[in-house]
Amino acid sequence: MNKPLSVLVLSALMLGGCGFKESNFNPYNWYGESSSEPVAVPEGVNPLIPQRRASIFRSEKDTNYYGQFVGEVSEMLIERRPGGAIIRATGIVNRQGFYDVRLVQNEAETTETVATYDFKAIQLRGNVGTEASRSVTVAVWLTDNQLAGIREIRVKAARNVRSSRR
């Protein structure tokens, strides 16, 4: 009697454990898979024309970041870690020769429940090359305090936006 009962209880526990993967109690499911949506392109704005003329005689340091939007976001992952989360985005730039890739928080589109980041890189003139040679990955760390109240995280590129919701 004990052997069939223990087999029954053990098999019920094993079968019940299979449903845990899709539940909200699993920390890996707190943010779902990212989804892609198109971006509206502003008319009449050329990011290559500087707003202020540069001079070699100017002694002040320029602290502005002059990155341009990466072509598109191909993947966005939010990895939960103790004390916060890592937002990792992979994108495809238009040409080879990129450097200083960043996720810059977009203050204009960030609200109390939505955090929006612009996926930018400083790009030089270069060959188009293969998609693998134009792939870039960047990550940013957010603490639990920064994530408090955030229900959606969006990463914006030139041609699309990827978002993930809790």
Q: Which residue has tokens 């966005």?
A: 76
129 or 20, greater pLDDT: 129
164 or 58, greater pLDDT: 164
Mean pLDDT for the stretch of residues 147-152: 89
What pLDDT is recorded for position 111?
A: 86
What pLDDT is recorded for position 108?
A: 87
In angstroms, the CA 70 to CA 68 distance is 6
In angstroms, the CA 141 to CA 138 distance is 11
Name the residue among 47, 147, 154, 49 with its Cα closest to residue 110.
154
Inform me whether the pLDDT recorded for 10 exceeds 70. Answer: yes
What pLDDT is recorded for position 153?
A: 92
Inform me whether the pLDDT recorded for 53 exceeds 70. Answer: no
Mean pLDDT estimate for the chain: 81
| Model pTM score | 0.63
In angstroms, the CA 98 to CA 120 distance is 10
Q: What is the percent of the chain with per-residue pLDDT over 70, rounded to a whole number?
A: 75
In angstroms, the CA 78 to CA 164 distance is 8
What pLDDT is recorded for position 107?
A: 87
Mean pLDDT for the stretch of residues 97-115: 87
